[in-house]
Chain A
Amino acid sequence: MTDYFIGHAAYYFIITLLLIGLWGMLFKKNYLKKLIGMNILQSSIILFYVVSASKYNATVPVLDPKLGEINPSQYINPLPHTLMLTAIVVSVATTGVALALLIVIYKRFNTLDENEILEKMK
């Protein structure tokens, strides 16, 4: 049982991160903090992919004659990692758009606090 928990420690860490991110996005009143929460959420998912593809005693997925016969368990799966390159790009782009929006919002309302903005929007 303990082995199971220790073996999956990374996943619990990721879930915690994910929840922190969600909490920040939904309950923080400052838009910038919401954005930070969003980044935490996205990072947790990226970590999830990265962790899921990691393997002990395995090497980069380039065929190595020294290892002898081809055995998949000796190589890590490269696909989740490469997928995450794309996901990071997406995440950066999203952050960029969000920051641009925040600048406009700040210029128009002089604040990033949700309650104040909603007040001024009426």
Chain B
Amino acid sequence: MNYNYSLIPFYAVIVSLVGAILILISSRKPNLREFWTISAAIIKFILVFSLVPEFLKGNSVECEIISIASGVSLAFRVDGLGLFFAIVASGLWILTSFYSIGYMRGLSEHKQTRYFASFAIALSATMGVAFAANLVTFVFFYEILTISTYPLVIHKETPEAISAGRKYLAYTLSAGVILIIAIAWIFVLTGNVEFNANGILKGVNISSAQLTILFILLIIGTGVKAAIIPLHSWLPTAMVAPTPVSALLHAVAVVKAGVFGVLRIVVYVMGFDLLKTSGLWIILATFSAATIVIASLIAFSQDNLKKRLAYSTIAHLSYIILGASLLNGTALLGGILHLAAHATLKITLFFVAGAIYVKTHIENISELDGIGYQMPLTMGAFAIGALGLAGIPPLNGFISKFILINGTLSSAHSAIVLIYLLSGLLNAGYFFPIVYRAFFIKSERFTKIREVSLFMLIPILITAGLSLLLGLFPDLLFNLFHIAQNVSSEIGKSIIVDVNKISGAGL
């Protein structure tokens, strides 16, 4: 593999930081402010996308900015996993920006400048997390991500929102402290915090009890954002945030940064070999499997639409983690693909929830009877999202789940496949009633309601369309499939899945 020095990853990180400053400066002129948001989003996406051809040629783009602490540099490297995550997050940011503008103006919310600025900083941090070449750079941006999303969680400034913000900070910053301690330990042990495909800790001289503690510290550090039960309770509470925040941050950026962190730790810090020989993967697999089942069951009991979506998110995040913890290239591939699939599907669902709220101020599922007649496009998109998460072809949720199940079957513990199947059923169980209510129960309540503004409707339709498109042609857009496959084959032992075959399966 060739190494190319290029500052593009750095620019991709910094562009929305500059955007945030411009947003703050132009706080008096809403149109200019929104212009900065949109242009930062688009420039960021173009920058990220420009890294794809180089990557597919097999070149690794990397850069060192400065020495961030003695012996460690602030360095970025574009590898498959990071690039994949960056494409998903930055791509969906563009849509969310448009949607946010519609949402915030539709509700004429207060303190919009703070909102957009924090959003831009959060995205900056997400890119940093994605492209970080070492653990210190990773945790650097990981903490910035935590702090920059706090203003978004408390945006409504109700007592409820404030206590949710406190809970959020308490959980995520404690996790941050634990992660920093674990990283310091690794640094002292190995003198090296650079991610590599064999695992940083490979061959390190450490007793197995210590290794277990270190692994648990690392998993707690990242697992809070990834909402592994019992570390999840901040996420449903944080749903008091405005819907675009829930959509992008709590379905894509923040929680996915946590999952991304878990993947980094499993693959690049511990390494498959070490996890296999030490048997530590069992811990991760047990917790994530339990999370899938428990969160899905809790989701049933939630009447608040966003809370139900939140618990569904918790379950789906653990799909990815469970896939990775099986230490099998194919399951890892499925997990990575599910990262994108869940992103597009869940963001659709959240966008719809926000659209309903803007139009009707309704948050509960039991009050949604008949809304599908008045907002057919919106609720149609919801149906697509629900189908996709249940794993119905031809949506992208099917592809990722299919590969996950394939990988599970080819691993030594094929019984785990039952978890995925059960969870698919549960998904159907808690999503389809909403669709049913919306379209099949008639109610006179919503006769005056029309579709939402185009600012919001178009992003909804695009994300729903993306889910469908990626289900039919996984590799069509941005070569996502190739990039993901590249990661899993780099780790090795992956069944090479022919992309064309998968497309066929989708149909």
Is there direct touching of A and B in the complex, by C-beta distance under 8 Å? no
Residues of A within 8 A of B (CB): none
Q: Which B residues have a C-beta under 8 Å from some C-beta of A?
A: none
